[in-house]
Amino acid sequence: MSTSVSSPLFRVKIFTLFPGLFPGVLGASVTGRALDQGLWRLDTVNIRDYAHGKHAQVDDTPCGGGAGMVMRADVIDRALRSQYTSIENKPKNLIYVSPRGKPFDQDMAKAFSQDGDVGILCGRFEGVDQRVLDAWDIKEVSLGDFVLSGGEIPAQAIVDASVRLIPGVLGAKDSLNEQSFSSGLLEYPQFTRPREWNDCIVPQVLLSGNHREIYAWRQRQSESLTKQRRPDLWGRYVASKETKTVKE
């Protein structure tokens, strides 16, 4: 699948055995509109198209024994070379989604959106032959400490997180700055109309019109939630504030 645009700000190639899964959720809502507007481009590469033989075999049994099958290095290499003229000309961010990879986070999404070109290899079965990962210096990225049937769902999540950071994709710039992780904290609770629902009332401070008090309330809420739910983030946030204070 390919969406033709003139000069997109972000370009992603998905290497997969199931190109029909794309754009999937990426074709809806803000990412879908941005795709239609040409702010980013999506290309899928069917790995099976580069398998040889009568049965177009893309996998084989693991060396050393064990359950399952492993995706072949030679097939993946041909798929990659169909898009990149050489290993030296691959994009800076050529990644393989894998549970053993570096955890994906907001900083990584921001880097991807700014670099402009990303290639994502979606594995299946028991994984990918290590030799092609080493030969192409493919970075392994993880969506979390769990195992899925393939890399297509994590790939869509990674692309979604990156695309929404492209200028013009989201209407309000402030909405990016106030979301979880943008300041190192979890986002504060959100409320809207009706003012009273199910015997619960919107906090009065949010209806006061006092922007200074609203900001202070939201900051306290973000700090409290982060400390309670994500002590790892809270520790980094406190350390960064202490470092900033020392420098000043």
Q: What share of the chain is helix, strand, coil (3-state, %, to 5)?
A: 40, 20, 40
DSSP assignment of 70-91: EE-HHHHHHHHHTTSSSGGGS-
Q: pTM to 2 decimals?
A: 0.86
Q: Are residues 29 and 137 in the same domain?
A: yes
Look up the CATH number of the domain holding residue 192. 1.10.1270.20
- Count: domains in the chain: 2
In a domain, 152, yes or no: yes
In a domain, 169, yes or no: no
What does the pLDDT profile of the chain (248 residues) look like in tens digits?
444 445 788 999 999 999 999 999 999 999 999 999 999 999 999 999 999 988 889 999 999 999 999 999 999 999 999 999 899 999 999 999 999 999 999 999 999 999 989 999 999 999 999 999 999 999 999 999 999 999 999 999 999 999 999 999 997 554 555 555 557 899 999 999 999 999 999 999 999 999 999 999 999 999 999 999 999 999 999 998 887 666 66
63 Cβ contact list (under 8 Å, min separation 6): none
Chain-centroid distance, C-alpha 173: 20
Q: Are residues 144 and 22 in the same domain?
A: yes
In a domain, 174, yes or no: no
Report the alpha-carbon distance of residue 222 to residue 7 in Å, rounded: 38
Q: Are residues 26 and 133 in the same domain?
A: yes
Q: Are residues 134 and 192 in the same domain?
A: no
